[in-house]
Structure 1
Amino acid sequence: MTRDRPPNSPPPASGGVAGNGSPSTVLEQPFDRNSLYVLRATVEAHAIHAGLPEGRTADLVLAVHELATNVILHGSGSGRVRLRAGDGMLHCQVIDTGATSTEPGIPAWPYEYGHGLWIARSLGDRHSVTRGPDGTAATVGFVLPHPRFPSFQLTRHDQDGRTTLRLIGSLDQGTAPDLTAAVESLIAAGRPRRLVLDLSGMTLWDSIGIATLLAVQEQVNAAPGVSMTLTGVSADFRRRLDSLTFMPLDYENPRD
């Protein structure tokens, strides 16, 4: 089992929790090669209804599609998807009901760069794979927004030739353009020589947010004499960034 934490772990949310405090099932959907379109549309609708933001819903749908395709191409050919909400998370389990074993253990599905399990692990905030008498199951978890999450802010502080941009809130498809514009403006103005991007206040992200961080790094690399350091990055989020790029990223004081 592998487990990743989001940049800032949220307090538990009450949405989607059953009366006994356990996660509640919001979707149970069978699938095969002829029903992937219906599966994606159904998962999208239920994830949005459960409160997952639009960008993270797109990430979840992609992860489900990749895992379901794994079942179709490399497993029994059919399975089911289960969505459960509770404890501030939306958990999605993709089950290959035909791949069973009486001894639970690591499944035969391989982790390969760019393939289904790798994509699901890269996109989700939690991840696990199990194999047992009910089949092989890959589970990805996505943090649900909490009412106490702060709204997006991007502040700037200049001192001794160093400019710090501090991000608070979600870095997603709605807010990522603000970060891109801020960095482009600084580079166009010929400053700073050293840019520090403080992510300690980041609460949620989506794949577009991560892609923006990597694109910003490319912009800085292309600007002569300019460097960028990431600070306030958790060790888990750092591993996720490093797994998605071949560029060297400069970190300052990664958080555990």
Structure 2
Amino acid sequence: MTGHPPPDTPPFGTNQLLLVSIFDAGRFTEVRHAVDAVIRRCRLSAEKAADFVTAVNEVMINAVRHGGGSGELRLWESAQLVCEVRDRGPGFPAAGYLNRSQRPTPSPDGGMGLWIVQQTTDTLSIDSGPAGTTVRIGAALAPRTS
């Protein structure tokens, strides 16, 4: 479980919703390009933007591969840039994938995706159970200039 609002809580208040999209294997590339275009307009360095796009890509891959074949992506700006991906897969024991200090050994089923996400974002939370998985990642934004 995470410290974030429940997955059904939409980002309101001072948050600015930037993108909402449903994706599956057929729309994966299209949605990834849309995410990239939105992120490049946010207050992130080029390197941090590229890292965040990589992280979003990994989370989307996991939703398609392990989470029932599709997902819903929401991207918004608050105190940080936040991306949430939800799927309706069977869930998994998320605690074992958080705060890993060492690179995992790849397996035929993957094994590197969430480690890459952890390395390329400032925040990562996972809420997973039999009804699906919600992954939230965040990247600190540069201060606004006047």
TM-score under structure 2 length normalisation: 0.73
Superposed CA deviations along residues 43-73 of structure 1, whole A, max 9, x for unmatched, are 0111122222221111111111111111111
Distance 1:83 1:134 in 2: 22
Distance 1:60 1:90 in 2: 9
* Shift in CA distance, 51/75, structure 1 to aligned 2, threshold 3 Å: same
Distance 2:73 2:44 in 1: 17
Q: Which has the larger radius of gyration?
A: 1
Which residue does the alignment assign to 1:71?
A: 63
Q: What amino acid maps onto 1:135 in structure 2?
A: G
Runs of 4+ in 1 over 4 A off after TM superposition: none
* Shift in CA distance, 125/77, structure 1 to aligned 2, threshold 3 Å: same
Task: Find out whether 1:123 has 2:114 as its counterpart.
Answer: no
Q: How many angstroms does 1:2 deviate by?
A: 8.1
* Shift in CA distance, 108/142, structure 1 to aligned 2, threshold 3 Å: same
Which residue does the alignment assign to 2:134?
A: 137
Q: What amino acid maps onto 1:140 in structure 2?
A: I
Which residue does the alignment assign to 2:89?
A: 99
* Shift in CA distance, 36/132, structure 1 to aligned 2, threshold 3 Å: same
> Could you say what the CA RMSD is over the residues aligned between the two structures, in angstroms?
2.7
* Shift in CA distance, 134/91, structure 1 to aligned 2, threshold 3 Å: farther
Superposed CA deviations along residues 176-219 of structure 1, whole A, max 9, x for unmatched, are xxxxxxxxxxxxxxxxxxxxxxxxxxxxxxxxxxxxxxxxxxxx
The DSSP-based 3-state class of the residue aligned with 1:29 is strand
Among 74, 85, 105, the residue aligned to 2:77: 85
Give the number of aligned pairs: 126
Q: Percentage identity across aligned positions?
A: 33
Q: Higher relative CO (CA 8 A, sep ≥ 6), structure 1 or 2?
A: 2
Which residue does the alignment assign to 1:61?
A: 53
Unaligned residue ranges in structure 1 (runs of 5+) = 4-16, 102-106, 149-256
Task: Find out whether 1:39 has 2:36 as its counterpart.
Answer: no
Contact 2:68 2:89 in 1 (8 A): yes
Q: How many angstroms does 1:135 deviate by?
A: 3.1
Unaligned residue ranges in structure 2 (runs of 5+) = 4-10, 98-102, 105-110
Q: How many angstroms does 1:145 deviate by?
A: 0.7
Distance 1:77 1:133 in 2: 15
Superposed CA deviations along residues 18-38 of structure 1, whole A, max 9, x for unmatched, are 7x43x2211101111112211
